[in-house]
Amino acid sequence: MEQGLGSNYIPTSGGPVDKSRVLNVRPLRCLVPIFPSPPGMSSFSSPQTAPFMCVPPTGPFPPGVAPFYPFLVPTETQAVHSGFSNTIPSPVPINSFRTPISAVANGGTGLSRRSSKNRTPEGAVMDEDYSDSPNQSDFSMHVADHDHEYTTRKAGKRKGNSQKKTRNDVDIDSVANSFLASFNLTGVDTYRQVDGDKELIRYILMMYDLLRRRITQVEDGKEATPGVTRRPDLRAGTILMNKGVRTNVNKRIGAVPGIEVGDIFFFRMELCLVGLHAPIMAGIDFMSFKDIQGGERLAVSVISSGGYDDNTEDGDVLIYSGQGGNINRKDKDVEIMDQKLERGNLALEKSLRRANEVRVIRGVKDAVNPTGKVYLYDGLYTVQQSWVEKGKSGVNVFKYKLVRVPGQPEAFTMWKSIQQWREEDTATSRTGVILPDLTSGAENLPVSLVNDVDDEKGPAYFTYFASLKYQKPFNLPKPSLSCSCRGGCQPGDLNCPCVQKNAGVLPYTALGVLLIYKSLINECGPSCLCPPNCRNRISQAGLKIRLEVFKTKDKGWGLRSWDPIRAGAFVCEYAGEVIDVSTAQELEREKEDNYIFYATGTTGSLEVTPGNFKETPRIPFPIVISAKNCGNVARFMNHGCTPNIYWQPVLRESDNESYLHIAFFAISHIPPMKELTYDYGTAQSGKAEQRKKKCLCGSLNCRGHFY
DNA sequence: CAGTCTCAGTTGTAT
DNA sequence: ACAACTGAGACTGTA
């Protein structure tokens, strides 16, 4: 035990853009991390022999065809001892750190206990009926068994007060239930995973994001109730926690399976769901060991998010402030007092003596969305010193010096470098910068051109053009309605024709993040009267993310981002010249054009989401785009069999004319400087063999070629 | 020892 | 400005 605590770190191989971190997801343009292999057939254990799973390229893809993720429960031995031991550092047997009783009682099974009782035999959720129960004492008992924990807590707290579910709660409940139903998750939560892996984590985060965005969408269409703060992040998190859609529930010291140094998160809830940091508010997570003499407790992770006066000047050292003392409590009438050596502070003190590794998560400002925060997992640290000092508020504050364990991939230091490049504007301090802005101002953000790999001075000549050149638009048989929302289209405005075209809901959040996956997005067109910053013109508004074109090791030029990218965020569109199919085929034959994008019928964007959230992309009329002579950053995006970007058809209509565009969105959260890739797709016609190319994406289930 | 209660503890969003 | 909600620990009830 003793020696185990200090020595359970095995550096993950490779740097921050290590190919091994690419998720093991089924090929094709599939948004869903799909888990075709039952335990034992995991492609982790046999990456070479993993069968190439292929959806017929011509479709059709009726709803429900894609296997939803069954939440296979791998036995612990498989998870720990089979393929995983090679890829995920877990040198200390997980069991030896598992809190014997208390953590289990308070953690996982606690939830399971509560949430599995209230099922009818059919597994239906008992939901609405109790809300009018006149018997208040009975009521709390009834509610204590209720499915939704948040309701329970509310009701428990406000015993005797208003216990009616608001209309709002009911709405969200039904949304959540239908959401979960589409995952076949309304049943008893036997799905909780002991240990995660990359796919599971990706899947959970995707579910979280979908549900959160879905709730946002429902809330969005409604009038804001004064005095009620809408927290879709908490709502979605609570629901998934109660359903057991989470992993790494048991706390552990050191690395967390499936999470890599440099991974980013946008909500505290996400950290909780994947088991990186359990408390949703507190900055210090710790676990106790009853088997150690005196029931010692050790810190397992800390979040430095700016609430306290932490020092983060040196990227590899963190001066962390203890918790408590009411220093950050905004409530009135709370007295600020000296911090005590208890809870997290005590745990950090013990961790100093035991020298165990502590995960550090750094909360940093999001350049794209200044009101939000990004949580950056910065790897393992050890506590080196502790002391007490008088803080700004005049009370005693505990301070802990944490030092980063060497040999880990860059994360926070990379972040700091990027900040510096940003401030310098010209990025002169950086080696390998060829051009500070290859667009020559054609985009509203610069796009740098960098080569720190070899001597090549840049890609072949082309004209930078930020959008699509149509020779002639598609003519509509009957005129399309344009909106007249001078203040921008509003989510709840059912009179707006643009909202109507999108089945009654705007496809984007207020931050410009795609809300749900649709077969086709109808944006406002040239004749709409709404302003250019209308929420329904996201793909027309230009770059929002600071991108750079860089020389890859073996795939020519590629695209990556300085900014962290949220799942669902718009990245760029595919610019170029719209050409006709026959021209394209000619170019193909002569191997003239490697920059052709086909959006023709059923091929292409097969990105789908699980369950009912899947929609087959609908392309109203086929287009072929050539970006050989003119194009934008999208022409540099490489193919990846496990992509982090997908494309989506977007229609912009104007009176009798219709323009189809191809917009790229992030599949998952993408850390800065990670290469952006999308799936170039599979063969859709006999001619396709001519386009077949060898794939160098390097992902675990690379299918070896693309088109 | 199991169940119930209290409260510390910050965040994200609305104003 | 504010309400959101988990988990730990304290407390209570039962075997």
The token pair that represents A121 in the structure block:
């035999």
- Per-residue flag: A272 CB under 7 A of strand C: yes
Q: For residues A495 and A470, is the Cβ–Cβ distance under 8 A?
A: no
Check if the beta carbon of residue A646 is closer than 8 Å to that of residue A679: yes
Structure tokens at A29: 């343009």
A425 CA to C5 C1', in Å? 43
For the segment A497-522, the average pLDDT, to the nearest whole number, is: 85
- Is the distance between the Cβ of A280 and the closest atom of strand B smaller than 7 Å? yes
- Nearest nucleotide, CA A108 to C1': C7
A268 touches strand B (CB under 7 A): yes
Write out pLDDT tens, residues A640-681.
888 899 888 999 998 888 999 999 999 889 999 999 999 887
Task: Please answer whether residues A135 and A159 qualify as being in contact, where contact means their C-beta atoms are separated by less than 8 angstroms.
Answer: no
Nucleotides of B under 7 A from a protein CB: 2-6, 8-15
Beta carbon of A228 within 7 Å of strand C? yes
Instruction: Quickly list DSSP for A231-300.
Output: -HHHHHHHHHHHHT-----S--SS--TT--TT-EES-HHHHHHTTS---SS-SEEEEE-TTSTT--EEEE
Asked if strand B comes closer than 7 Å to A117 Cβ, the answer is no
Summarised one tens digit per residue, pLDDT across range A117-135 is 333 332 322 222 222 333 3
Nucleotide nearest to A234 (CA to C1'): C4
**Three-class SS of residue A416?**
helix
Triad A428, A431, A436: Cα angle to 5°: 45
Q: Is the CB of A107 under 7 A from strand C?
A: yes
Kindly report, residue by residue over A72-84, the tens digit of the pLDDT: 222 222 222 222 2
pLDDT tens digit string along A372-415?
A: 899 999 999 999 999 999 887 788 899 999 999 999 999 999 99
A100 CB-to-strand B distance under 7 Å: no
Q: What percent of chain A has pLDDT over 70?
A: 67
Strand B contact with A226 (CB < 7 A): yes
- Between the CA atoms of A479, A485, A491 and A493, what dihedral angle is there, to the nearest 10 degrees? -80
At A254 the pLDDT is: 93
Q: Is residue A572's pLDDT more than 90?
A: yes
Q: Which helix (H) or strand (E) holds A669?
A: none
User: How far in angstroms lies nucleotide C12's C1' from the CA of residue A361?
Assistant: 38
Q: Does the CB of A297 sit below 7 A from strand C?
A: yes
Superfamily of domain A436-605+616-706: SET domain (2.170.270.10)
Nucleotide nearest to A153 (CA to C1'): C5
Cα–Cα distance for residue pair A432/A419, rounded to 1 Å: 17
Residues 6 or more apart whose CB falls under 8 angstroms from that of A192 comprise A108, A112, A244, A246, A247, A249
Which band of pLDDT confidence, cut at 50, 70 and 90, is reported for residue A304? very high
| Cβ contact A234 with chain C strand, < 7 A | yes
Top pLDDT among A170 and A173 is at A173
| pTM for this model (two decimals) | 0.75
Residue A528 has pLDDT above 80, yes or no: yes
CA angle A530, A536, A537 (to 5 degrees): 80
Question: What pLDDT score was predicted for residue A570?
Answer: 94
Query: Is any atom of strand B within 7 angstroms of residue A307's beta carbon?
Result: yes
Choose among A634, A603, A278, A344: nearest CA to A467.
A634
In chain A, what is the straight-line distance between the N-terminal and C-terminal CA atoms, in Å?
53
A559 pLDDT higher than 50: yes
Could you check: is the Cβ of residue A157 within 7 Å of any atom of nucleic acid strand C? no
Neighbours of A551 (CB within 10 A): 21
- A229 CB-to-strand B distance under 7 Å: yes
Q: CA–C1' distance A230–B14 (Å)?
A: 8
pLDDT at A691: 61
| Pairing verdict, β A396-404 and A317-321 | antiparallel
Q: Which residue is nearest to nucleotide B14 (CA to C1')?
A: A229
